[in-house]
Amino acid sequence: MRIIETMPGEPNASMISSIINLVCPQCGGHMMDFQCCGRCGRNWLPEWEWASSVTRMTGVARAKTAKAVNHCVAAL
């Protein structure tokens, strides 16, 4: 397993990027349908779904915050 020092939120981005590029985030092996064909043989579908949902929630939270800020500025 790789140990990587990252900024907050970066591990999700790194994992998503690896999966999109069909590279196992854990062992670097080739992937097919979220299943690693390399040494670890891990199925990454649950992590993909979790990371995707967290990323979507973060985007929704940012959109709500921006909308609230714009509303407050318009009220001035």
Higher pLDDT among residues 27 and 64, named by residue: 27
pLDDT at 6: 46
E-state strands within 1-76? 31-32, 35-36
Share of the chain above pLDDT 90, in %: 38
The Cα 64–Cα 72 span in angstroms is: 12
Phi, psi angles (nearest 5°) of residue 25: -65, -25
**Stated pTM of the model:** 0.59
pLDDT at 60: 54
